[in-house]
A and B are shown apart, each in its own frame.
Chain A
Amino acid sequence: MRNPLGWAALTLFSLLFFAFIYAPLFVIVGYSFNANPVNMMIWEGFTLDWYTGLFGLTERSMDANSRAAYIESTDQMLAALRNSLFVAVFTTTIATVMGTATAIALARFRFRGRRLYDGFLMLPMMMPDIVLGIGLLIFFVTLGMQLSLLTIIIGHCTFLTSYVFIIVQARMAGLDPALEEASADLGASEWVTLRKVLLPQLAPGIMGGALLAFVISMDDLVITYFVSGTGDTTLPVFIFGMIRRGVKPEINAIATLLILASVAIAALGLWLRSRKTD
């Protein structure tokens, strides 16, 4: 079974595979330490300036030429990051509550059109982002709503609720209905059962759904692009706009920090999932 040649080929393949996936990330991390302010592809020495600059610790002196290359200030970039976090936190909260409530309702109550409802909840996940984006934009304009962070939050909630729903529903399906019956049998009202038995049992699913919603919300470009106004925008949209004019080196630093944050969140998610509550 242990054909050495096959084994070597398999090892090589997996190495290449991971290189393929992670190389772009490493490039960014590398660039974020490059002192060259104008052309990041030319290594000019190691610096932490882009990081310290992000937090307003140093103001790197640039010659007039390179300064002119950038329209956006670091402050604007940080504002975009703040907006992203703001949107993600609100979206995650709303989508998690709605997705969880829907998953519980669909699993525990029988009503007409249940199957249809189920199908409709899947749809926003499968819909191309661009369609959802245009749809939302037209919707907001029709209602006469000013595009703002609020419209971004509403837009994100429309599809992230579905993500949370799917994950919590899977957890719900694996739950022994006798647990809730045991709780009721021991004198707990439905509300107490929800609080003391159902939600703790669903917790890993709910946390997983919330983390996913948070990460997708932080990351979304297409839908946000349509529903964000001229003023406030999120980091992905901001970066996207910036690339067309030339990339400010701080971007690499921000990207590196975001990678770190994502890894931390993913690790947290895995840890929560591995904690068994059976």
Chain B
Amino acid sequence: MTALLEIRGARREFVTPEGGRLAALDGVDLDVGANEFVTLLGPSGCGKTTLLRAVSGFETLDGGTIRLDGADIAALPPFRRPVNTVFQSYALFGHMTVARNVGYALEVQGVPRATYEAEVAAALEKVGLSGLGGRKPSQLSGGQRQRVALARAIIAKPRLLLLDEPLSALDRNLRQQMQIELKALQHRLGIAFVFVTHDQEEALTMSDRIVVMRAGRIEQIGTPRDIYRQPKNRFVAEFIGETNLFPVLVERIEGATALARTDAGVVLAIPAEGRRAGERVTAILRPTDLALAGEGIRGTVTRAVYLGADLHLFVQPAAGGPEISVTTRDVASLPATGETVHLAHDPARVHLLAEA
């Protein structure tokens, strides 16, 4: 399969005001399939916007290539690229009606009147804004503006839609609703989305694949499940979801499991495959992988937080070391703050990192 978008060795340096050089993109390789929802995720300043702008043509690369359908697009100005963008600020044209905003790409192409009208109506319909075409953008709510920006960007049927934090200005409920709608729209249109966010939950729920970036480099590319269950390193593990990290020394192998101990003395059962005694590794356990039980890691509850159906506990291990966070459905047993509990886990759920 050849990818729709092929980025190879993308580099972009900025001169900082202090006179130094900063690599906003430091050798990025990325493929995006024709009907894929790819999310760029990473902390602020890691180069997500820069990468997106390099694809849309508003940023030129210092090195590397960008191919779309196999053709190098480096020389094409933004207005010749079959790629459209949903801007974070929406960037709606305030002097035009909603309908004219949506139809702008067709207006510029000089599409005949009848086709134009039909397409605009269809695009408004697709985002659920039929009947609001005559308004000005300033007469719309935040969520409605978001939809106008979306309708405007898809009307010209781009092969690839770029979305730079399109939901960050919306409140939580609207945001979750738009997440679902966006995903459904992408499915219906059958085009590729490259979506930027620094909300890991959003990335996990929407993406076919997630690209985790740090300081201009890609740390890991994978499905949400891969990224969550098998992070390649501590950075990815800590960036995606809540994580308990245990730097441990492998003590002895007992069949399929091995026993490992943190410096403070917390003992964990980990998968034995490929391990040998005396080795130092980092064990990763998600809060949902731990459960309250009769035996296991002994500790004291320091804090209990309700999250609707779930109960979130912070447990200070008796042996010492950092607090362990646990999410449990078992609200019936309600441990109080200060109570002693035991935490059990399935050794198979432990993910190991070679780095100590």
Binding site for B on A (CB under 8 A): 176, 178-179, 181-189, 192, 196-197, 200-201, 203, 276-278
Given A181-B78, A187-B79, the answer on whether A277 and B94 have CB atoms closer than 8 Å is yes
B307 at the interface (CB under 8 A from A): no
B235 at the interface (CB under 8 A from A): no
13 A-B pairs with CB atoms under 8 Å apart are A179-B93, A181-B58, A181-B78, A182-B87, A184-B58, A185-B153, A186-B156, A187-B105, A187-B108, A188-B79, A192-B108, A196-B104, A277-B94
A184–B79 CA distance with the chains assembled, in angstroms: 5
Q: Which 9 A-B pairs have the closest CB atoms?
A: A178-B91, A182-B91, A186-B105, A184-B78, A277-B95, A200-B95, A278-B94, A188-B108, A184-B79
Given A185-B79, A276-B138, the answer on whether A176 and B89 have CB atoms closer than 8 Å is yes
B84 at the interface (CB under 8 A from A): yes
* Residues of chain B within 8 A of A179, CB atoms compared: 91, 93
Q: Which residue of B lies closest to A186 (CB)?
A: B105
Q: CB within 8 A of B85: which of A185, A188, A277?
A: A185
A260 to chain B, nearest CB (A): 31
Once the chains bind, are B79 and A189 in contact (CB under 8 Å)? yes
The residues in B between 91 and 119 inclusive whose CB is less than 8 angstroms from any CB of A are 91-95, 104-105, 107-109
Q: Which residue of A lies closest to B58 (CB)?
A: A181
A277–B156 CA distance with the chains assembled, in angstroms: 26
Q: Which residue of A lies closest to B107 (CB)?
A: A196
Size category of the binding interface on chain B: 20 to 34
Binding site for A on B (CB under 8 A): 56-58, 77-80, 83-85, 87-89, 91-95, 104-105, 107-109, 138, 152-153, 156
Given A181-B78, A276-B138, the answer on whether A186 and B94 have CB atoms closer than 8 Å is no
Once the chains bind, are A186 and B104 in contact (CB under 8 Å)? yes
B160 to chain A, nearest CB (A): 12
* Residues of chain B within 8 A of A188, CB atoms compared: 79, 104, 108
Given A186-B105, A186-B152, A186-B156, the answer on whether A176 and B91 have CB atoms closer than 8 Å is yes
Once the chains bind, are B77 and A187 in contact (CB under 8 Å)? no
A176–B77 CA distance with the chains assembled, in angstroms: 20
Q: Which residue of B lies closest to A177 (CB)?
A: B91
A176–B89 CA distance with the chains assembled, in angstroms: 9
* Residues of chain A within 8 A of B91, CB atoms compared: 176, 178-179, 181-182
Once the chains bind, are A178 and B87 in contact (CB under 8 Å)? yes
A85 to chain B, nearest CB (A): 31
Q: Which residue of A lies closest to B149 (CB)?
A: A182
A203–B56 CA distance with the chains assembled, in angstroms: 28
Q: CB within 8 A of B104: which of A183, A189, A276, A277?
A: A183
A189–B56 CA distance with the chains assembled, in angstroms: 14
Q: CB within 8 A of B108: which of A181, A186, A277?
A: A186
* Residues of chain B within 8 A of A176, CB atoms compared: 89, 91
Q: Which residue of A lies closest to B84 (CB)?
A: A185
Once the chains bind, are B79 and A182 in contact (CB under 8 Å)? no
A192–B89 CA distance with the chains assembled, in angstroms: 22
A183–B107 CA distance with the chains assembled, in angstroms: 11
Q: Which residue of B lies closest to A276 (CB)?
A: B138
Q: CB within 8 A of B56: which of A183, A185, A196?
A: A185
Q: Which residue among A176, A182, A185, A200 has the maximum number of chain B CB atoms within 10 Å of its CB? A: A185
Q: Which residue of A lies closest to B83 (CB)?
A: A185
A143–B83 CA distance with the chains assembled, in angstroms: 56
Q: Which residue of A lies closest to B81 (CB)?
A: A185
B58 to chain A, nearest CB (A): 6
* Residues of chain B within 8 A of A203, CB atoms compared: 95
Q: CB within 8 A of B138: which of A184, A187, A278?
A: A278
Once the chains bind, are B94 and A187 in contact (CB under 8 Å)? no
A176–B93 CA distance with the chains assembled, in angstroms: 10
A192–B108 CA distance with the chains assembled, in angstroms: 8
* Residues of chain B within 8 A of A201, CB atoms compared: 93-95
B186 to chain A, nearest CB (A): 18
Q: Which residue among A184, A188, A276, A278 has the maximum number of chain B CB atoms within 10 Å of its CB? A: A184
A187 to chain B, nearest CB (A): 5
* Residues of chain A within 8 A of B79, CB atoms compared: 184-189
B119 to chain A, nearest CB (A): 13
Once the chains bind, are A178 and B94 in contact (CB under 8 Å)? no
* Residues of chain B within 8 A of A185, CB atoms compared: 56, 78-79, 83-85, 153
* Residues of chain B within 8 A of A184, CB atoms compared: 57-58, 77-79
A277–B95 CA distance with the chains assembled, in angstroms: 5
